[in-house]
Amino acid sequence: MKISPLAAKICKAKGIDPAGLIGTGPGGRIMAADVKENAPTKQRSGTAIAEFALLPTRPQKDNYYVYDMSVDMAALGDISLPIAVQCEKLLENRYSVIDYITRAVIKAGLSAPSLQQYTEPADVLIFENSGEKRAAVTNAAKKNIFKISREAASGAPIPANYNPMFIVCDAHTSRACVAEHVEPGCRPLFAFVDRGNTPKERVRAGAAGMADYILSYTFYVHTSIPEAEANGVAANLHAMLYNPVRLLLLS
């Protein structure tokens, strides 16, 4: 039986016998998302909440829980081409992997139970190409992946004194660059940093190169979110990145 280390850890924590699971990874390998599909879930405001969690991978940093992860994005390449082509017809532009990642980060973050009554707009600030390309998506919780794609590509200026709930950027975007475009003292609740060394985010969804796309990332959750909830958010994010059907159905 083939099983990933993360899936084995989750099975042990939840008392799940992996022998009864069907693996969807390479060669039938059981992945973390396969365990999640068989774990009990509860429903909150239309978003599935995992009953298991990921633990921070290193000590807290600047009042953030830190999760270093890697995920195989091949599944997104497998299913996204027809969706991307339809998007291209409707919007004259295919959505990209960064749009998908952004939507996953938003949905995962808002799955935190303590945010169910949150009334502030869920704004997001996106940095690409070492911060040279920037996009602000306002009230992002109410926008599906196609609307996020269109707004991110519009080139609209970032609002003054912007205080986003989410920041998504590549590894080469400096803190100074982020600070330059947000309100002084801005402390987003969630930040996602792609740790890849190549600018693959702008790969259009459905591209052939996605078959070999392993996304390494660091996810930060502010400590104002209870740690147990933050661990659940991290698990939801990882599952949605690995299993695109889950996110696209929720979108």
pLDDT tens by residue, 126-140: 988 888 888 899 888
* Top-confidence residue, 149 or 77: 149
pLDDT of residue 109: 94
Residue written as token pair 């969804």: 205
pLDDT of residue 108: 92
pLDDT exceeds cutoff 80 at 41:
no
1 pLDDT band, cuts 50/70/90, is confident
Query: On the CB side of 204, how many CA atoms lie within 13 Å of its CA?
Result: 13
Q: Above pLDDT 90, what percent of the chain? A: 25
44 pLDDT band, cuts 50/70/90, is very low
200 pLDDT band, cuts 50/70/90, is very low
Q: DSSP letter at 39?
A: S
In this structure, of 3-12, 17-26, 64-73, 92-101, the range with the lowest mean pLDDT score is: 92-101
pTM value is 0.73
pLDDT of residue 90: 53
pLDDT of residue 40: 42
Q: DSSP letter at 150?
A: H
The mean pLDDT of 136-153, rounded to a whole number, is 83
Q: Above pLDDT 70, what percent of the chain? A: 73
* Top-confidence residue, 125 or 246: 125
Strand blocks (E) in 37-175:
41-44, 47-50, 58-61, 64-72, 124-128, 133-137, 166-170
